[in-house]
Structure 1
């Protein structure tokens, strides 16, 4: 992975932040995309750059604002560097029954989790096609595979991501670009804070390993999929859920 260049969205927290750390340790240069500036993140990434001798460039844009997103991607393109890997990690979650859900909120969720991802892939894949190489990894969710009460909005958006992944794998595979998805189960991130203690206990019981997943366990899978060790894996949806 040393010397390769990667774009990571949602890079400032949760799985995204661990992805930045893990790929930096692997010697990868990173465009870390996020919505707003954070002084603590800037200090953290500067230390990563020093320790691992890589560059980590911060790119700020709002996933739901097309103009903002386009400006952010243009900033990356203007550097005229090869883009080897794209990890679409940014996303939002909600747990709410349909009777308690505003359709406007569902639209915002789809804009963030699906349409913005599609927009980014469309732009980046064109460059990868010209390069005749590239790896795209989309962050799905087990919610896009397992229907559950309260997950109609979030699960539907992630199901769309998983289907998109497999379609794009067939479209882009012949052009030298691999497209795969990771479908995490419940992971110890900020998103999990929407559950109460009893619900968290139930989520742990549903896993064969009787625990929640860790962000590092998702990032390790992404690192494998991005590497040449996964050179014949395309169109895969890899569940990382502890065996639910």
Structure 2
């Protein structure tokens, strides 16, 4: 796979899965726009690793993905800096876990705003660029929770299920213009989010995984890199599980 000359936007790219995706795309030669919300220091470190791995250029952009206008400004800035956008990976996400009967409205709204609305915002502004350019690749990061549901994560599961609906709908709309839209649905991946789980919860999760281990961010990044490449040009509207068999 070769992404030389391509420019990729990766949201939520300052750590975890997003950082691994940015670095994997960089290793294939892509320019990378590292979109982050909080830590400029972590984002700068990811950019440095991207350049070390072979990216022609990597730059960090702070953006509230839930803000429609801020996303437009960010996409415009990336276009101006790199001359265009070829790949979009929507990875930014948060969780505010709790049982639905006692879930605060604010916790539901916050998760949907970042995970689902944030994905829509970047899809809305980037898809138009891809249509005008006559091609593009979009990969949205969903979750196994969006496929199967998960107790204590109704808000998170709903947002990730919504991403699957967005993926399939947009794929139908843009397929004839050489734009592919796919989703990756990770299972339990060894990131800050899963490290915050209690030991009991982690053991319960491991007992459900056929491969008996947590995934690595690199496992997800490899799937994203394939879907972003020319090798996946005839694959669109699909949801690829990277979950060690938990959804079997």
**Alpha-carbon distance between aligned partners in 2 of 1:71 and 1:218, rounded to the nearest angstrom:** 28
C-alpha contact (below 8 Å) 2:30/2:55 kept by paired residues: no
- Name 2:148's counterpart in structure 1: 146
How many residues were matched structurally?
244
**Alpha-carbon distance between aligned partners in 2 of 1:74 and 1:27, rounded to the nearest angstrom:** 22
C-alpha contact (below 8 Å) 1:207/1:243 kept by paired residues: yes
Quick one: structure 1 residues 206 and 51, their matched pair in 2 at CA, closer, same or farther if it must change by over 3 Å? Answer: closer
Tell me by how many angstroms 1:99 deviates. Answer: 2.3
**Counterpart of 2:220 in 1: which secondary structure?**
helix
- Name 1:92's counterpart in structure 2: 94
Tell me by how many angstroms 1:37 deviates. Answer: 4.5
**Alpha-carbon distance between aligned partners in 2 of 1:41 and 1:176, rounded to the nearest angstrom:** 31
- Name 1:201's counterpart in structure 2: 203
**Alpha-carbon distance between aligned partners in 2 of 1:29 and 1:89, rounded to the nearest angstrom:** 17
Does 2:215 match 1:213? yes
**Counterpart of 1:145 in 2: which secondary structure?**
helix
1:165-196 deviation line (CA, Å, top 9, x unaligned): 00111001011100000000010001113310
**Alpha-carbon distance between aligned partners in 2 of 1:47 and 1:97, rounded to the nearest angstrom:** 39
Quick one: structure 1 residues 43 and 156, their matched pair in 2 at CA, closer, same or farther if it must change by over 3 Å? Answer: closer
**What 5-or-longer segments of structure 1 have no aligned partner?**
none
- Name 1:235's counterpart in structure 2: 237
Bigger drift between 85-94 and 52-61 goes to 52-61
- Name 2:111's counterpart in structure 1: 109
Tell me by how many angstroms 1:38 deviates. Answer: 2.5
**Alpha-carbon distance between aligned partners in 1 of 2:14 and 2:70, rounded to the nearest angstrom:** 17
Does 2:129 match 1:127? yes
**Alpha-carbon distance between aligned partners in 2 of 1:96 and 1:120, rounded to the nearest angstrom:** 28
Normalising by structure 2, report the TM-score.
Answer: 0.93
Does 2:10 match 1:14? no
Normalising by structure 1, report the TM-score.
Answer: 0.94
Instruction: Tell me which of 140, 163, 180 is aligned to 1:178.
Output: 180
Tell me by how many angstroms 1:82 deviates. Answer: 2.6
Instruction: Tell me which of 163, 166, 170 is aligned to 1:164.
Output: 166
